[in-house]
A and B are shown apart, each in its own frame.
Chain A
Amino acid sequence: MKFLNGMTLLLIYQLVGEIGVQLLQWSIPGPVLGMLLLFLTLLLRKGALPSADVASTALLSHLSLLFVPAGVGMMVYFEHLAKEWLPIVVALVLGTVVTMAVSALVMQGASRLFSPETYRDG
């Protein structure tokens, strides 16, 4: 029952998020606003929402499954991808690794500088 209540709660927050984004004409997706609202709720209630915990753990433990249908969409773009495969592959691989490395370095440097008490070197 907790799982069902939790799922219902998540869907309600998503719905409120979608409506909010439409009404406010924001360019962020509804679920992101929904997440923000649920986060604020948890802050206000000091975190006592066991049903949300159960549903959240269940959904997030296999988060990567949820990306499979979109990934299979690759088959629709085979021609597109084949025609420009070199820039695509290099931009994807190199771009992603560079972004990750730079983000890690900046976060590491800024943490040492501004939050040295929480930073763990090893």
Chain B
Amino acid sequence: MADGDLTTLWVYLSASPLVGLTITLIAYSLGYRLYLYANRNPLLNPVVTAIAALIAFLQISGVSYATYFEGAQFVHFLLGPATVALAVPLYQQCAKIKKRLLPLVITLVVGAIVGAGSSVGIAWMLGASLEMQMSLAPKSVTTPVAMGISEQIGGLPSLTAVLVVATGIIGAVTGTTLFRLMRIKDDAVKGVAMGIAAHGIGTARAFQENKEMGAFSGLAMALSAFTSAVMLPWLLHVAGVL
């Protein structure tokens, strides 16, 4: 085949959603294999390696994010049903959760305040712009809710989406080590902390540990989406930022 034909073929293919979708799945499954091969080293979290590989590929091939997303949106879309699906492990762990309801509620309120307060405070101290501070504020909240909060308080919703994913990765990578250093062994405690600080990516990591930690993490993620959506705009108002 001549060079011209190959170029035409690439131009044709890169404009179709097939490429974006396929490379997302390839990058993730390669990343996952690497993760297993490295004995589940948290630094090689498959989300990190897949994102890095995909960005490198898109930069080199000159495909825009918008074109890529036309294919990748089919994966992105599944976040919705996956959120609904969290009801199942939640129900299975219901008896355990009921016994921890009061501690959970207290932790959710404190977690929402610390989650937003720490990131805004640090960003402010280090001289970040107000827009960046507001984009960072909901970084521990699950993507769709975080984007809504960001818009409401004057951040950039799509920038927030990126910061949310980065937060989740950091939480997933550091979580188990942090809990070991803090000598925390209780799965409910670990799960709740993971879900509040690192939403769905933390929850995915928690499910790799065990079902109880995953269920508590999923529950904390869902409930902190509620508490943050209600509290954050009000909190920033009281703090005098808005």
Say yes or no for A56: interface residue by CB 8 A criterion.
yes
Say yes or no for A66: interface residue by CB 8 A criterion.
yes
Q: Nearest chain-A residue to B119 (Cβ)?
A: A95
Say yes or no for B22: interface residue by CB 8 A criterion.
no
Cross-chain contact of A106 among B25, B83, B106, B169 (Cβ < 8 A): B106
Main secondary structure, interface of B, reads helix
In the bound complex, residues from chain A placing their C-beta under 8 Å from that of B132 are 80, 84, 87-88
| A42-B87, A72-B72, A87-B123 known; A95 vs B139 contact (CB < 8 Å) | yes
In the bound complex, residues from chain A placing their C-beta under 8 Å from that of B200 are 63-64, 66-67
In the bound complex, residues from chain A placing their C-beta under 8 Å from that of B99 are 115, 117-118
Say yes or no for B102: interface residue by CB 8 A criterion.
yes
Interface residue tally of chain B, by bracket? 35 or more
Main secondary structure, interface of A, reads helix
Say yes or no for A4: interface residue by CB 8 A criterion.
no
Cross-chain contact of A73 among B103, B162, B192 (Cβ < 8 A): B162
CA distance A20 to B148 in the complex (A): 17
Say yes or no for B241: interface residue by CB 8 A criterion.
no
The residue among A17, A32, A110 with the most chain B CB atoms within 10 A of its own CB is A32
| A28-B145, A95-B122, A100-B197 known; A69 vs B75 contact (CB < 8 Å) | yes
The B-contacting residues of A in range 105-122, CB under 8 angstroms, are 105-108, 110-111, 113-115, 117-122
Say yes or no for A25: interface residue by CB 8 A criterion.
no
Query: Are B75 and A68 closer than 8 Å at their CB atoms?
Result: yes
Q: Mark A84-108, 1 if CB is under 8 A from B, else 0.
A: 1011101111111111111111111
Query: Are A72 and B68 closer than 8 Å at their CB atoms?
Result: yes
Say yes or no for B1: interface residue by CB 8 A criterion.
no
Query: Are A32 and B78 closer than 8 Å at their CB atoms?
Result: no
Query: Are A121 and B165 closer than 8 Å at their CB atoms?
Result: no
Interchain nearest-CB distance for B228 vs A (Å):
10
Q: Nearest chain-A residue to B202 (Cβ)?
A: A100
| A103-B107, A118-B99 known; A108 vs B184 contact (CB < 8 Å) | yes
Query: Are B111 and A96 closer than 8 Å at their CB atoms?
Result: no
In the bound complex, residues from chain B placing their C-beta under 8 Å from that of A100 are 171, 174-175, 178, 193-194, 196-198
Query: Are B144 and A31 closer than 8 Å at their CB atoms?
Result: yes
Cross-chain contact of B81 among A7, A62, A95, A105 (Cβ < 8 A): A7
Query: Are B84 and A96 closer than 8 Å at their CB atoms?
Result: no
Query: Are A39 and B118 closer than 8 Å at their CB atoms?
Result: no
Query: Are B86 and A35 closer than 8 Å at their CB atoms?
Result: yes
Q: Which residues does B use to contact A, with CB under 8 Å? A: 24-25, 27-28, 45-47, 50-51, 54-55, 58-59, 65, 68-69, 72-73, 75-76, 78-92, 94, 96, 99-100, 102-104, 106-107, 110-111, 114-115, 118-120, 122-123, 125-129, 132, 136, 139-140, 142-145, 148, 152, 156, 158-159, 161-172, 174-175, 178-179, 182-190, 192-194, 196-198, 200-201, 203-205, 207, 214, 220, 222, 225-226, 229-230
Q: Which residues does A use to contact B, with CB under 8 Å? A: 7, 10-11, 13-14, 17, 27-32, 34-36, 38-39, 41-43, 47, 49, 52-53, 55-57, 59-77, 80-81, 84, 86-88, 90-108, 110-111, 113-115, 117-122
Question: Which 7 pairs show the lowest CB-CB distances between chains A and B?
Answer: A110-B103, A69-B72, A87-B126, A31-B83, A87-B128, A95-B119, A38-B87
